[in-house]
Each structure stands twice: as C-alpha cells, then as structure tokens.
Amino acid sequence: MGSPPYKVKSVAVIGAGAAGAACAAALKAEECFETIKVFERRSGAGGTWIYDPDPEPLPLSPGSLPPVLDPPIALPNGPFPQRLPRPKRQQRFEKTPIYDLLTTNVPDIAMSFTDLSFAYGPFAPHYIPRQYIENYFSHHRSDGYLVLDTTVEDVSLVDRTSRRWRLTLKKTDGDHEIWWQDEFDALIIANGHYSIPFIPAVDGLADFIASFPGRVEHSKTYRSPGRYAGERVLVIGNSSSGHDVITQLRESGVCKPPIYVSRRSRSRWDGEKPPPGVAWKPIIRRYHAETGDVEFVDGTRLANVGRIIYCTGYRASFPFWNAKTNGRPLFDYEKDLLINNFQHTFLTDFPTLGIVGMPRVLTFRSFEYQAIALARLWSNRAAHALPDSAEQRKWLERRADLTRQQRRRFHVIDWDTGETMEWFRYLFELSGLPVLEGIGRCPPTLGAATRWAIEHVKKYPEHEKDEGAEGWEMVNEKDTLWFI
C-alpha cells in the first residue's frame, strides 16, 4: 500500500524557519491534529534569516562532511526528565550566515508564501524575511506551537508497528541542561541546510590553515568589508554568496586591489572581462604552507594573501537521526541524497516521516507545496494515495539515473526544463482541494505574473551569449534558478 489510512493525531516539526512556518500553517488548517509542536533551537522563529552580528570562528576541515563536523551528542541515560550539569560545549553551527547587506535573490512575488506578502520587494533586506517568518506564525495563530530554545538531540522510532517517533530534547538552563522526551505519531524534518559550511579538499590546505590561523574562513562568518581593510583578499566561488561578497568588497574600496576570485566556471552574472578592481583566477592546485603562496592550476602563484574567503556552500546535516534504532541512515552524505525518498518529500519505508525544504528551489514557495501535501496525506484527505513502494523506488531509480547522466545532484531541480513545475504539479494534485467548509489549505497556484517575475526580475544583470562574439563562453548550462 502506498498510503494506508493514517492514524496521526500528534505531529512534531523540527525547525521554525520558513519551512517550519509553512508546516505549522498547513497542519493547523486541517483541524484534525490534536497536538502540533514546532521545536526550534534558537530563541525565536526565522531560521537561517536570523542575523547574528558576532559570528564565532568555525573549525575548518577541508573535505569533511557533516558526520565528522556535526556528530551526534551523547545522550544521558534515562529516566527522563533530567537536569544535568552543562558539559563542555560542542560546536553545533547554530549561528546563521546572514551578512550585513544581504538581500533576498528571488523576487518577493515568487518567494513569499501565497497567503501573505512580504512588506516590500522585489529584493528585500535580510530582516524582512526574518520578520515575515515570525509574522507568518502569528498570522496563522500557530505561534502557540513553538517550543523555543530547544534542541532535538535524538529522533528514534518507538516501534516499527506504530510508526511513532520519540524525540529526545534539550534546553539550556544556566550552567545546567534540561533533558526530556516526547512522542509523536508523525514527524516533519524542516531544519534547513545552511548550517554546516563546506570547504573542498585542496592539496596543502589543512597545513596552510594550521600555519596561518584566521587567514582562511568560510563565507558563513563574513559580515561586512570593514574587517578586511588593507588586506589582499582571495574569494573562492562565484555563486550567489560569492558574488555578493566580491561586489561588496570591491565597492567598499577598503581592500588592497584587486580582489582575486578563483572560479571553476563562469556564472551568468559574469561578463567577458572582470569588473574594475577584480582579477579572475582559475581553481587552486595547491597551498604552500611554508611560504604562504597560493598556486593555481595554470601554474601562477599568489603571494601575501591576507584573507581567503571560501564561498563554497553548505551541506545538509541530521545529527539527531538515530541510524541504529531506526534501522538505517537517513541521508547519504557522499551522494548528497535523502535515502529512499519519493518526490524529495516522502520516505518510502517511513510513512509517518516527511522532509520539507530539501530541494533548494524557489524558496519559500516550494515549502508550501510540500507542507500542504504532507498535512493532507496524514489527515486522510489527499486527492489520491501515494503509489506503492515499488513504484516509489522506480521513481527514485529514474531520478538517480537522470541526474547521474546530467552530472548534477539528485535534489537539484531545474526551472528551465520544466522540472520545478512538474514537481509542484505532483504535490498540487496529490493535495487536492480543501473541503467546502474551509478546512485545509488550498495548494498554491503559480500564475503567469509569478512565472514572469522568476524569469525576468533579476537581482543582478545577467550576461547573455552574444552570437557574434568570438570566444564567448557558453552559459546555457546554468538554470534560471541556478543560484538558489
């Protein structure tokens, strides 16, 4: 059976960012769940849009994945609840990557949820989405579901027959920690994917970091150009955060020119030549810890680099998932793949577990489709059942084959090929309409004005291919929403 009758009366949501806000609203609207709780480790809703002006230095481990960087915390022996002395702090990467001048990069008409608009746009400063998420909880009167300053440290099946979930939770109380457990019929993981910074492995980088403490950082700790005054700066990466950092450093004029940018390929924002004050370099071959030089694949070297900023993205992390108790890992960190997933949202072997926010495409709007589909499914009011497990696995295999052939990650969904609309359409049609009495949220449409804005309203001008220009690098491999 793909969708047996669900006996779900209590639901937990991990994370009170935009995805958690969408889940809370969708679950509440069904009016059939007796208990809904949204657990958030920060002191307020907002997720990755919470601004931390004082980022702490992060441990840098080139090439390391989340199981190494963000391992589970040892749980106390029961019984629960317990109040225990607070041990030495383990790095949990809870501070966000928001920098001073960050704005959204998707026009507000396409980014905001369909039932509440951003205060203004099209590209709003970072405090607008943060306020918006908080207001969205209040707008739906789901703010009462929030359980703040609470970390989910373990997620385990109670038993495979009931498919219920036991959460082990922790709250800090001065020099002590309060530990307790709670059980739920269903669980949505909506914890976001911008916490664990990724730095690729490069020959000599680990020794370089050890020899020159503080010289190398990830863009997660970047806040403003001022701290780089008088420095020769090298930026690695030219996607959205990289482009922002490069632009801000260049326009501030505080750094020693030029700003060096190591890029693997040309982005749609790059022209034929670098802008004034910027010098392009190829990818890095090796770091020389003995001299401090950076060597590139074309054989050139850069000496006396004061600061190196890696704008190389993030990796999903689920340190709370108890693979032993649950019978398998949740995520393949080597393949960047949610194991046994269907439509990036459902888990074939865990029918009472959902994931919201996995494909980073058209956020926040995509969260609505996922959240409404899960809420409708667990309320037994979906328009149709999920396919059986065999058909779900066939979808997984087809998707894996396609993305492998195209050399892209499984959860990267393209806009230009119609993949995004196809995915939204599946979730839209699965959800179906709310009942006549107004119970349940209506899955959102994606009208012509919104689609036009996605394709034409740009934060930065994009350089199109000039058919008459010799040597112009093809950029049509980049999707319209590649920067997300």
Instruction: Kindly write down the DSSP assignment for every residue of 447-463, as one continuous string.
Output: -HHHHHHHHH--SS---
Residue 411 contacts residue 358 (beta carbons within 8 Å): yes
d(Cα 253, Cα 265) in Å, to the nearest integer?
26
- Give the C-alpha distances (Å, rounded to integers) separating 122 from 103, 112, 289, 445: 10, 10, 45, 19
| pLDDT for res 89 | 85
Measured in residues, the chain has a length of: 484
| pLDDT for res 461 | 82
117-166: per-residue pLDDT in tens?
999 999 999 999 999 999 999 999 999 999 999 999 999 999 888 899 99
d(Cα 220, Cα 311) in Å, to the nearest integer?
8
Burial of 254 (0-12, 13-18, 19+ CB in 10 A): middle
Q: 263: which 2 tokens?
A: 């890029």
Residue 82 contacts residue 224 (beta carbons within 8 Å): no
Give me the CATH code for the 199-312 domain, please: 3.50.50.60
Secondary-structure percent of the chain, ordered helix, strand, coil, rounded to 5: 25, 20, 55
Beta bridge partners of 171: 178
262-290: per-residue pLDDT in tens?
999 888 888 889 999 999 999 999 999 99
Percent of the chain having pLDDT more than 90? 88
Closest CA to 120 of 133, 132, 108, 103: 108
The DSSP annotation for 366-385 comes to HHHHHHHHHHHHHTT--SSP
CATH topology of domain 10-196+315-455: FAD/NAD(P)-binding domain (3.50.50)
In one letter, which amino acid is 299?
Answer: G
239-269: per-residue pLDDT in tens?
899 999 999 999 999 999 999 999 998 888 8
Q: Is the dihedral of CA 257, 261, 267, 273 positive or negative?
A: positive
Residues of the chain with CATH 3.50.50.60: 10-196+315-455, 199-312
Place of tokens 């980073």: 360
Percent of the chain having pLDDT more than 70? 95
421-433: per-residue pLDDT in tens?
999 999 999 999 9
* pTM > 0.85: yes or no: yes
Q: Is residue 399 over pLDDT 90?
A: yes
d(Cα 444, Cα 448) in Å, to the nearest integer?
13
d(Cα 198, Cα 239) in Å, to the nearest integer?
14
Residue 464 pLDDT grade (very low, low, confident, very high; cuts 50, 70, 90): low
Q: 66: which 2 tokens?
A: 């989340």
Q: Is residue 472 over pLDDT 60?
A: no
| pLDDT for res 474 | 34
d(Cα 239, Cα 243) in Å, to the nearest integer?
6
Q: Is residue 45 over pLDDT 90?
A: yes
Residue 370 contacts residue 441 (beta carbons within 8 Å): no
Mean pLDDT of 439-455: 94
| pLDDT for res 471 | 33
| pLDDT for res 468 | 36
Q: Is residue 15 over pLDDT 60?
A: yes
Q: Is residue 93 over pLDDT 60?
A: yes
Higher-confidence residue: 330 or 470? 330
Which of 93-107, 352-366, 454-468 has the weakest average pLDDT?
454-468
Mean pLDDT of 79-87: 95
Q: 408: which 2 tokens?
A: 């892209």
Q: Is residue 209 over pLDDT 70?
A: yes
- Mean pLDDT across the chain: 93
Mean pLDDT of 171-195: 96
